[in-house]
Amino acid sequence: MELSGAEILVRCLKDEGVEFLFGYPGGSVLHIYDALYQQDDIKHILVRHEQAATHAADGYARATGKPGVVLVTSGPGATNAVTGIATAYMDSIPMVVITGQVPSAVIGSDAFQEVDAVGITRPCVKHNFLVKDVTKLAETIKKAFYVASTGRPGPVVIDVPKDITDPAIKVPYHYPDKVTMRSYQPTVKGHSGQIKRAVDLLLTAKKPMIYTGGGVVLGNASEELRTFVRHLGYPITTTLMGLGSYPASDEQFLGMLGMHGTYEANMAMHDCDVLIAIGARFDDRVTGKIAEFCPDAEIIHIDIDPSSISKTITVDIPIVGDVATVLQEMNHLLVTGKKQPQKKALDAWWQVINGWRAQQCMSFDRNNTETIKPQAAIEIVHEITAGDAYVTSDVGQHQMWAAQYYGFDKPNRWINSGGLGTMGFGLPAAMGVQLAYPDATVVCVTGEGSIQMCIQELSTCLQYGLPIKIVALNNRYLGMVRQWQEFFYKERYSHSYMESLPDFVKLAESYGHVGIRIEDPKQLRAELERGFAMKDRLVFFDIVTDQTENVYPMIAAGKAHNEMHMSPHSCELPQSPERELS
């Protein structure tokens, strides 16, 4: 069978099992768009900005575990996609991004809409390719999917010059079943000796702590993690990226850790004697002050990426391997071994932890009838959706409140830009999720600042009938910036106030959707219920919230886990909430 490069490209996506292609046409990809027009296998989703194409593909990937696929043109198409590529890179999301390029003959001549896409994306991709020969196109696409979705996943860019997709040049087509690359062979199985040492150490622990991250979600290891945690009876915390990998409603779960983690999770980290980190990378938002991180603990670290091990925190027992595979082996050793956890010490440890829990660090002013508390809005959304929605978020205070108050019991449900912290991520990511699961409830928790960074996608949502529920916590501030300015800049609110906001209700309506503004706390539940009942409509909830609310607890950047600022509503302040910080 002889096909043109454009036909090969589309056919490869079909053979790879791709459902959706998120893209935007332009000069360098016209041959590809012409090939797309003549087939029905791949559904192309036309976004309104290339950044949204990458975020939508990213959301699809996070919810399904399958690589998201993007097609953009050369020049500005590629540069607009970069933010979304970097977002996926920081959170290790599998993605294949096809960028058009000017014809091979004019590369380097500053041609119209030419940029060095391979050069620009190099620092924020797992790998990238420039296709120089149409006969290598199919193999390159296979390699791209293989690299993107194996090992520590990540985005891969394929730059395709226009002449490669020329409809006049036909070559034989064959899509390889698999590829092997001598330079890329990710480790899967962990070292058995190290695993045994780790299990032995875990069973000697008197004050153990389990700290898990996004690797458990990406590695599809939630089941193995649950078995592991329940067998040991140890306390567990997760990072922002790991929420849902262990049920938030479970007794052993201490909540999220880190800068906006719970009092009990952070204190347990600080005081533990054995720490096992699973698919987590000791990010600075998690560790706080490196020198005072888990000062008394021996540390075990399971990660598929060797470069994550001992990068910031030196570990005692490193295990390189796929999280699910390593946990299976550990579970087997725990079940078949004779040694049991230190029951008496563990009971004492739980007593200490329950003392910390009694602080009720997540309390807030629930009885306020004057203004809507953002935390209350999240809690009500949780109740209305029975805790079973896919929740995407943007970046800022609303992101932290969604993470703290939604209570995720299942993996792949919490979809946010943790590493790069990309405002504008939420709405397009929700589109990718809703396309993957048309019948699911998909909620985008956002703020009036973030939503305006990709608001044009309301148009895409109309075109494809995506009934996303946008919960905008509108406090007329860039809330997290305002919070830092309050704490660390003596309340000098430099450019954190959002002036001249649009009427979001009318805006939603002008895009053909439903808009609901909620200002009265007494109406909050009824109005949210009314909107969520509209199953087939996109509803934009413009929720006017308390302008002064802050995210608590908070560990200031560079401070230790036991130096937390607590909410004024928690039971008892463990230390004075001083506002002078580094």
Paired sense of beta strands 170-172 and 2-4, if any: antiparallel
For residue 36, which of 68, 69, 13 has the smallest C-alpha distance?
13
Is residue 323 within 8 A of residue 245, CB to CB? The reply is no
Nearer to other proteins, 143 or 561 (CB): 143
The catalytic position among 19, 113, 486, 523 is 113
Strands 127-130 and 155-161: parallel
Q: What tokens appear for 188 in the block?
A: 């899967």
Distance of alpha carbon 216 from alpha carbon 218, whole angstroms: 6
Distance CA 166, CA 431 (A): 32
In 174-322, alpha helices (H): 192-204, 214-218, 222-232, 263-271, 284-287
Chain CA centroid to CA 446, Å: 14
* Least distance to other proteins, CB of residue 143, Å: 9
Which is nearer to other proteins, 189 or 230 (by Cβ)? 189
| Cβ 271 to other proteins shortest distance, Å | 26
DSSP 366-394: TT--SSB-HHHHHHHHHHHTTT-SEEEE-
For 136, the token pair is 């290598």
**Is 127 in a helix, a strand, or coil?**
strand
Residue 50 among the catalytic residues = yes
Nearer to other proteins by Cβ, of 122 and 332: the residue is: 122
CB of 284 to other proteins, least distance (A): 15
Nearer to other proteins, 31 or 281 (CB): 281
Confirm if 232 and 209 have CB atoms less than 8 A apart: no
Q: Is 139 an active-site residue?
A: no
Q: Is the peptide bond before 553 cis (omega within 30 degrees of 0)?
A: yes
Question: Residue 122 or residue 339: which is nearer to other proteins going by CB?
Answer: 122
Q: Is 162 a catalytic residue?
A: yes
Tokens standing for residue 160: 């395709």
Q: φ, ψ for residue 76 (rounded to 5)?
A: -60, -30
Minimum distance, C-beta of residue 92 to other proteins, in the bound complex (Å) = 12
CB atoms within 10 A of CB 297: 23
Q: Which one, 78 or 389, has the nearer CB to other proteins? A: 78
Q: How far is the CB of 120 from other proteins (least distance, A)?
A: 11
Q: Is 224 marked active-site?
A: no
- Write the DSSP assignment of 247-262 as a string of letters: -TTSTTEEEE-STT--
**Cβ 130 to other proteins, closest distance in Å?**
7
126/482 with CB nearer other proteins: 126
Q: Is 185 a catalytic residue?
A: no
What are the residues binding other proteins (CB under 8 A)?
118-119, 122-123, 126-127, 130, 147, 181-184, 305-307, 309-311, 314
Catalytic annotation, pick one of 162, 207, 373, 469: 162
User: Of 2, 43, 112, 132, which one is the catalytic site residue?
Assistant: 112
What is the H or E stretch that residue 539 is in?
A: strand 539-544
Catalytic residue chosen out of the listed positions 90, 209, 269, 480: 480
From the candidates 7, 16, 50, 114, which is the catalytic residue? 50
**Strand pairing report for 317-320 and 298-303:** parallel
Considering the complex, what minimum distance in angstroms separates the CB of residue 75 from other proteins? 19
Catalytic residue set: 50, 112-113, 162, 480
